[in-house]
Structure 1
């Protein structure tokens, strides 16, 4: 009995017996029950709803914070930092692994068990089988992501509190604003998660019993992480479907850096559609009459890999006129970003020390930044950036100045490390009327938009 024959069958001439096709809704429920009956999926659901809460609670109580992660140094200050730290970790490791274990195995499991013929006889439509499996795996992934968000957020708010969050340009986000930005960041991260899930479906269909089909989303995500750390052109960086795992940090600047985020989300959605379409194309044309043919082989290369490579090339060409060439990191952008963030944080320190408030306009902060001690061009990533920041205080003739050493990675993220004077940025703590508090000018994280300035 072939797949085509099973699809076209609408009635059986055996008296007046009528055979009806199984609707997608019933197939979806059946596939969902099959997934939920697997101990592996149950463990994942429990872990995603409990482990983030424990992680955030434990880290928030530690003296040593994950300062190498965005918002890691803020986990003592506000409960909204916890879900953002988890988002950074999830985009790199957790979400690719989850999509591999769910979407990457949803078709391959039938090959291992040899149950395709039974399923075709019951459902009588490869198309309905594909849609049911895709929707069931998507539902499980959404439950896992929701668990990560809810668990980490509730834990952070209970352990640390619903407090203001310092953005990546030094401005303060109210608890309500922080809540909206955190939720939007996780929503945007769904787009690359769907892209990895679609790649998992494609690998599960194209590679069959091969374990590579199960590992494909994780391998693709790891490859994208490696590429993102290399000095590649901005257009190629934005054309990768995982960039929205990175560009959500633009939501925490004022004004928000929406350009890279919108491009990242759009690219991820296009990859989702194309990869799902390729998986569907391969599945409905598969020969189910041969139990040894599990879909792997030359077609996986010609109808799976090559179209995605072509999509990457086309996406890069389309984005290039918008993104420009080079790394997207230059002297003007660095100086503007550092001066703006310093002005915001200087006002925060002024408030801590109970001094007279000043505005950014009154401070007139400016930065002069060089790279490699003027030995190399002041552009591109590196840990050899040095900035001298100057500002003015009303009524004081002499301008203040402070020195910072900058480490800027290829993604535009930077860490500014204070290098004097000690009264401004020389100590981790500042003595305030209410006790010692973290000095906001000692070290701070920031973000440089890679797209050309408007």
Structure 2
């Protein structure tokens, strides 16, 4: 009888809860928060309404990449939204989701209950990281899908003008828009991993929420500075702008692949560091308020070391002279030739090819008084082209504002009938003049053909 009673009261020791069950619990806990639900709803509705509303306005955001084409094609809308998302939306979204994943448990004092239920800090970390990743992917998908639907519904499935002036068919534009959003996932994951690291290292402090937007802001400021190309590419934020190279011919893949690889390396390293800090923390201390000095040595220094190694690796593996006079001239001439053919079609003139035009450009910076390289709004260019059967070459003047990231805006300065006015008169009425003002892109890496 005694043996039977002893056997009946012997406790049964079960193993840790499966990651799948913990993941479902963390995901339900996350999406039950009202702010997460509002974010999901906003990301799946607001971008479409914004793109449709802007596309119907007479004034377009011409200072935004592809903004000047929002009247012409629905594929410009998701690219405008991607530029805005990379600057503001995605850093804030990762902050709200990932930056509070672990700090919330500290504020609520629920770690002991969670440890009793799951019985494995490693599985808790994995479940929280996967739940945060799921919500972030849902938010990014909402931004991309909503803005695309809004653009196509309001404008239509029309061809898109690339950054070198060539015309992309709707199917090509769709594929490149999708690739651009997929590429933007890499720096988004890097910011999310930084949010996780801050949430683990800083405890209940709300400072962890600020880390992703602060890091994103710092990287944006760095991209505006005249930094060496290797340093520029070694920052994970570069992947938010390197998708521009998808819309040139040939495609500028090298900067994009480097930007994505760097972002993924940051994402992996920051996640591993967050995991190490999480496993080393003292869950019995109810007054835990962050890892203190350990957060610096384990969190900041490895990321700084990764940046230094990345800069050295890119400098050795790539050949780049940055923004040079020859590159500016070549990019402008290429874009002008493509857009001239588009204007020719608008005006129902005899068709010409780029080979027949033999377009060239002569550019000077600061009237030749400064080094003929680098960013600035003081580039002045004269474009020359030839028409079959016409002995005199045509010329047009442009003022260029070249950014540190290679993007430039060419502003037509005459003659009026070519690029001096924003409208051209066609047989069906006035139409936007593609040669008046357009965007272009100077490749920072010397990888494409010079011909």
Q: Same fold (TM over 0.5)?
A: yes
**Which whole-Å CA distance do the structure 1 matches of 2:168 and 2:13 have between them?**
64
Aligned to 2:256: 261
Establish whether residue 370 from structure 1 lines up as the match of residue 348 from structure 2.
no
Q: For residues 324 and 17 of structure 1, do their structure 2 counterparts lie closer, same or farther at Cα, with a shift above 3 Å needed?
A: same
Alignment of 1:243-258 (within 5 A): 243-258=238-253
Establish whether residue 236 from structure 1 lines up as the match of residue 231 from structure 2.
yes
Aligned with residue 268 of structure 2, among 268, 273, 280: 273
**Which whole-Å CA distance do the structure 2 matches of 1:429 and 1:23 have between them?**
64
Alignment of 1:54-453 (within 5 A): 54-324=49-319, 328-453=322-447
* TM-score under structure 1 length normalisation: 0.96
**Runs ≥4 in structure 1, deviation > 3 angstroms?**
322-326
Q: For residues 13 and 200 of structure 1, do their structure 2 counterparts lie closer, same or farther at Cα, with a shift above 3 Å needed?
A: farther
Shift of 1:14: 5.1
Contact 1:239 1:315 in 2 (8 A): yes
**Which whole-Å CA distance do the structure 2 matches of 1:126 and 1:321 have between them?**
41
**Which whole-Å CA distance do the structure 2 matches of 1:18 and 1:316 have between them?**
51
Gaps of 5+ in 2: 1-6
2:417 match: secondary structure: helix
Q: Which moved more, 1:60-69 or 1:245-254?
A: 60-69
Q: For residues 13 and 416 of structure 1, do their structure 2 counterparts lie closer, same or farther at Cα, with a shift above 3 Å needed?
A: farther
Q: Deviations over 1:321-342 (max 9, x none)?
A: 234466x000110010000100
Contact 2:198 2:207 in 1 (8 A): yes
Count, aligned residues? 442
Contact 1:31 1:136 in 2 (8 A): yes
2:443 match: secondary structure: coil
Shift of 1:373: 0.4
Q: Deviations over 1:147-186 (max 9, x none)?
A: 0011000010000000000000000000000000000000
Shift of 1:388: 0.5
**Which whole-Å CA distance do the structure 2 matches of 1:233 and 1:344 have between them?**
31
Q: Which moved more, 1:184-193 or 1:285-294?
A: 285-294
Contact 1:78 1:162 in 2 (8 A): yes
Contact 2:205 2:289 in 1 (8 A): no
2:58 match: secondary structure: coil
Aligned to 1:3: none
**Which whole-Å CA distance do the structure 1 matches of 2:16 and 2:204 have between them?**
28
Q: For residues 354 and 325 of structure 1, do their structure 2 counterparts lie closer, same or farther at Cα, with a shift above 3 Å needed?
A: closer
Shift of 1:18: 3.1
